[in-house]
Amino acid sequence: MLVDTYGRVATDLRVSLTDRCNLRCTYCMPAEGLDWLPKPELLTADEIVRLIRIAVTQLGVREIRFTGGEPLLRRDLLDVVGRVATLQPRPQMSLTTNGIGLARLAVPLREAGLDRVNVSLDTLVPERFRKLARRDRLADVVAGLAAADAAGLRPVKVNAVLMRGVNDDEAPELLRWCLERGYELRFIEQMPLDAQHRWSRDGMVTAAEILDSLSAVFDLAPEGEGLRGSAPAESWLVDGGPGRVGAIASVTRPFCGSCDRTRLTADGQIRNCLFAREESDLRTPLRAGATDEEIAEQWRAAMWTKKAGAGIDDLGFLQPSRPMSAIGG
């Protein structure tokens, strides 16, 4: 197993397939983009599948989440998903995406074996979307969500980040829109993972503020810790259900004590925490001919050193040098 000194066991693997993205969201990267990883540094499809196989068959991983950057930009995505779907035991597979291109790929992804998707959508106002993402692609995201639902990639989850003075008035409307379509909405507190290192607590809309704005319009009933388990989102039934809404309060209510995640970056580095400032290199031993057992042991060693908490709620917190697009969610 992938266990740490605090007894936490990692069974959820986040796999970043690329650091590239086709949006330029203001809270993630500058308008001109970033210096992308050189192709030789990226893991190949064979290397990705091998590492996932080791995680699933030797280390107890049960869930795979493909991330980026934007994972739909990876040309061999369908091949990777299809090969992972043949593993025994078969892991649950999901994908986090900005939704652009999902209208075209939803059915092929489902046929390849993907179980569900998370789609980022921070606003329903076209002009705000253009300002936030620096691209006029709201219609493509909406179409991608509908295609995912029609393809059976359910539950379709929508991730929204609210920013003070930008879209912090949209929580009720976003929830109403998602409920009408059967999507599960989760609000995520803005985290210090932007490439510009301009994140500030003052600009972050807290989960408590979001819930207050929702409670003014909807009746929210907490589902409780028993149902949450190791999930990062706290959830509430809306108006008696079956619709629900979630909040991921990474900053104000950290959930490090129940974390079950391990992360593999697009260039083959293991991160035992999203906010870690250290990484463990698996790409080098992988390409040097290490056996599956040797790689598994190095992975275990990387997880053993996981800290008790991310420290994001500490005033002395230092932001990771890599931004979210390079880490993978």
What is the predicted pLDDT for the residue at 13?
A: 97
Region 147-154: what's the mean pLDDT? 98
Region 117-137: what's the mean pLDDT? 95
Q: Using alpha carbons, select from 151, 217, 208 the residue that is nearest to residue 179.
A: 217
Detail the DSSP E strand segments found in the chain: 12-16, 63-67, 92-97, 116-120, 157-160, 184-188, 220-222, 234-238, 244-248, 261-264, 269-271, 280-281
Q: Using alpha carbons, select from 218, 227, 113 the residue that is nearest to residue 171.
A: 218
What is the predicted pLDDT for the residue at 273?
A: 86
DSSP bridge partners of 186: 159, 246
What Rg value do the Cα atoms of the chain yield, rounded?
19
What band does 172 get if pLDDT is binned at 50, 70 and 90?
A: very high
pTM metric for this prediction? 0.91
User: Is the pLDDT at 92 greater than 80, yes or no?
Assistant: yes
Buried b (16+ CB within 10 A) or exposed e, 5-15: eeebbbbbbbb
Region 304-318: what's the mean pLDDT? 75
Question: What single-letter amino acid sits at 247?
Answer: A
- Higher per-residue confidence, 251 vs 320: 251
CB 162 within 8 A of CB 210: yes
Q: Considering the chain, what is the average pLDDT of its residues?
A: 90
CB 64 within 8 A of CB 114: no
What is the predicted pLDDT for the residue at 308?
A: 87
Among 39-43, 78-82, 165-169, 198-202, which is the least confidently predicted range? 198-202
CB 218 within 8 A of CB 172: yes
What is the predicted pLDDT for the residue at 86?
A: 98
pLDDT in tens, 5-60: 999 999 999 999 999 999 888 888 878 877 788 999 999 999 999 999 999 999 99
Three-state SS across 257-291?
HHCCEEEECCCCEEECCCCCCCCEECHHHHHCCCC
